[in-house]
């Protein structure tokens, strides 16, 4: 059984080892999750950092594709115009039509 000081040193080393090119063992994840509810605040902080880093590593990279405005507009069949249109009524509340006179 390790003392809390030894556990703290081990968790700090685990924080340094978390990288994309190093595979993480399941036991590492289990230990980190177990330490999330540990009595010592420092071990909880290290555990939180490890879980956060693991979640960050699991997130896939974004793929950016640059397109010009003309490429986007050319792919549409109808002409592009702004303002109030019938196809934008689904955005409004209860198909709201603006009043046309002062009395309305």
**Domain contains 40:** yes
**Domain contains 31:** yes
How many distinct structural domains can be found in the chain? 1
Q: What DSSP state is assigned to residue 62?
A: P
Segment 42-53 shows an average pLDDT of 90
**Domain contains 47:** yes
- pLDDT in the model for residue 48: 92
- In angstroms, rounded to a whole number, what is the distance separating the alpha carbons of residues 14 and 52? 13
- In angstroms, rounded to a whole number, what is the distance separating the alpha carbons of residues 28 and 44? 14
Q: Yes or no: say if 17 and 49 are a contact pair by the CB < 8 Å rule.
A: no
- pLDDT in the model for residue 66: 86
- pLDDT in the model for residue 103: 76
Listed residue (71, 74, 76) closest to 87, CA to CA: 76
For the segment 1-46, what is each residue's pLDDT rounded down to a tens digit?
Answer: 788 788 888 888 888 888 888 888 888 889 889 989 988 888 899 9
**Domain contains 79:** no
- State the residue range of the domain holding 34: 27-59
Give the chain's mean pLDDT.
80
- In angstroms, rounded to a whole number, what is the distance separating the alpha carbons of residues 48 and 50? 5
Residue 97 has pLDDT above 70, yes or no: no
């Amino acid at each position: 059984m390790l003392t809390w000081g030894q556990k703290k040193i081990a968790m700090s080393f685990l924080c340094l080892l978390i990288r994309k090119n190093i595979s993480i063992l399941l036991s590492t994840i289990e230990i980190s999750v177990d330490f999330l509810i540990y009595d010592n605040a420092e071990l909880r902080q290290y555990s939180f950092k490890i879980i956060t880093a693991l979640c960050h590593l699991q997130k896939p990279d974004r793929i950016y594709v640059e397109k010009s405005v003309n490429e986007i507009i050319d792919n549409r069949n109808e002409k592009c115009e702004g303002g109030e249109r019938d196809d934008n009524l689904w955005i409004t509340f209860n198909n709201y039509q603006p009043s046309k006179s002062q009395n309305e």
